[in-house]
Structure formats: structure tokens, C-alpha cells
Structure 1
């Protein structure tokens, strides 16, 4: 276990919940921060708060609703279809989201005496989002350190994992059933296995099937 405190950027979804469980194993003290940015489903906020309470961690909720007003996207507007055309960013991409979330998480982290910020961004299964890339995170890490003269470390435990390997990590942490049944990843706002048809659910379920197949064969991914 590493000494010190970490702040986890937390949505209550599969990835961020796995990161929270990872952080609880890695750090002496952990807090979470969730952002209200006008997302389609307030259930996401309730789910995040509920999981944080059950796991016994302090939970912060920050209002970032202006973000949803500035950038039209399918995560905040019900009149926009969830789609991804080849060669274009998905309609679910929110300009500046991870930039702002990580920046505000850093401000919070400094106030509560945390040096580490944990986020579930992933370049392997990143759906084309430019702000999930490793180069972006490393660049922002340097910028945050310079901007506040504070030695932040942005931890990205899922950065190079496939979705199947993310399920494997949850299992390694003894929490596969918890992550499967308590988290909200679905774009349609359905907890656990979700609607089964939106892009987030398809990625999640495909990863679970791949992990279960490897597990049945005794193969570690």
C-alpha cells in the first residue's frame, strides 16, 4: 500500500468503480469526486453516491452544468442520437470533459491534502475520445503541477487494459459481482447489465464475455 491520500474521479460506472476499489487497495485514504454536468440520467449521480457510501469513502459532488450547455452532445441532450460514424468523434464525446474534471479534481485534491488523482480513462478501449489518451493525461499532469506548484500524480490503472482485462482486475480485487450489479455504465440509464444495445453496454458485455471465456479456459488475460 502506498502512503497518503488519493481522489478518485468517480461516476459510479464500471471503470471508475474498479478504479475506486483499486485505490482503496493502494492508498491509506481515498475520497471520490463526482461531477454534475447535465448528464441525461440523475441516477448516475445517485449510483455514485450510493457506492461511495457503501464503501465508506467521503464523496464530493461538484456542479459543472455549464459544460453541458457549452458543448452539444448525446450525453446531455435527449434530442441527439447516440451514434458513432467512422472517421468522426462519437456523438457522446463531451468537449473538455476530462480536461475540466481532472483540473477540478486537482484543485479539490490539493485542498484535502491528496497528491494522487485516479481516473478510469483508457486508451485501449477509448471509443475514439482524444481526452482518454495517455499523452493527454501525461501532458495535463505536468500542467497541473506547474499551475499549482504541487506534486500531483494522475494514476490511470486502466489505461492499457482491454475491457476484458478491466473485468479481470475487478475480479482480482474480489469485487466482480459488485461491479457488475451495482454500477451504471449504460447510456440509457439502466443499472447493472444495462439496456444491452447502446455502445457502452455492448463494450461492457463483450468484455465480460471475453473474460468469462478466458476464465473458463484457465487463461489469464
Structure 2
């Protein structure tokens, strides 16, 4: 039994590959798991409905919070349909799929909701190992925000980032180890263009997801041949 098996957790949940893997990781490690999904003016509302569907499959509490103020802040291609989405990371900046302030606001909102529920564990699927260069996915940012939230709420929150140092292939491996590989492969929506499972194939999220899947399946096949 782990140290938190008798405590509850709140998972920041979008219904994509990473947050779904984190959801089932949390179900394994905590007593009760709650999910919090955000509507922030993203390109497609399908993300929210798909998250709701997966939460039902996982039999966990599901809540949607309207955070569409984010779409009124800095321009980005996930909330501004007039912008053509970057398919590759520019040499000298972040891709325009970066939504400035998103993870900081999401975690702050999540902390306020967790505070009301007397929950101190927050789980998010950010990763520094295999990402598009977003600064709010870095371990240093999460650690810094964790301290700030603890000071702001006078509560000992712990932000868990089970994917922080995992490549996408290793995220697929974790889903397999948790027994939810098929759920993550077939039911999640990672695609920025709102297409379920393998997605459109050419947006940045799909490229990362599908490249990681290919790498993991090759690794798994190679290991099976060695047995």
C-alpha cells in the first residue's frame, strides 16, 4: 500500500492520452478520484464530452469548469480559429498551440476546488521529457507553483506529475501496465482537430502520440520475440 492510499485526489482531466493515463494511475494510488475538466474556448467541445465519457467508464466523479476567459488572453491557435496551427515547432519560439497561462490557471482553479473538497493531491499529465517546448510543462514550473499554491491556500497540496520524465512511448507503456492500453488507444481524444483515437495524424499532438505508439509497439514486439 502506498503512502496516499487512504487519501483522495483531483485529476486535471481532458480525456486525452496523458490525462486518461494519469486518471487510471490515480485510481491505482488513491482512495477516491475526482476529475476536473476545463472548457476554455478550445477548438472543439468534443474534448469535454469525450472526457465525460471516459470518466463514466472509469466510474469517477466528473466536473466541468468554464474557464473561457483564457481564450480572451494571449492569441493562440487552440482558441483562435483564425490562426493556422503550427505543425512544427518554430526555431526561435514556442509553437502557436501554446496557450499562455493555461496550466498555471488550471492548477490554481483545481487547487481552489480541491480546497473546498478537503483534497490535497492534484494530478496533472504535464511532461518535460516529450513535449512541444511549452514552459508550463516543466518540472521547475510545477515545483514553483506547488510552493505558491501552498502559501496562497495555507494547505499542503502535492502536485503529482506521473508523466513528467516519461517519453510518449513510456506513457503508452504505463497505460499498458495499468491495464488500460485499449481504453487509451481507442477512447481518448488527443488530436487538436477533435478527431478521436489516432486523430488527424498531422497536428503536433497526433504526431507525438502516434510516434510514441509506434515506438512502444516495436519495443513490445521485440521483447516478446526475446522470450
SS of 1:108's partner is helix
1:29 maps to 2:32: yes
TM-score of the superposed pair, with normalisation by structure 1? 0.97
Q: Structure 1 residue aligned with 2:183, among 168, 171, 178? A: 178
Task: Please say if 1:96 is aligned against 2:96.
Answer: no
Counterpart residue number, 1:81? 84
In structure 2, distance between residues paired with 1:81 and 1:194: 18
Aligned residue number for residue 46 of structure 1: 49
Equivalent residue of 1:22, what SS?
Answer: helix
Please give the residue correspondences for 1:152-167 in structure 2 after superposition, counting only pairs within 5 Å.
152-167=157-172
Secondary structure, aligned partner of 2:185: helix
Structure 2 residue ranges without an equivalent (≥5):
none
TM-score, normalized by length of structure 2?
0.95
Post-superposition, which runs of at least 4 consecutive aligned residues in structure 1 deviate over 6 A? none
Whole-angstrom distance in 2 between the partners of 1:218 and 1:115: 39
The alpha-carbon deviation at position 69 of structure 1 amounts to 1.2
Question: Cα offset for 1:89?
Answer: 0.7
Q: How does 1:1-221 map to 2 (within 5 A)?
A: 1=2, 2-83=5-86, 84-218=89-223
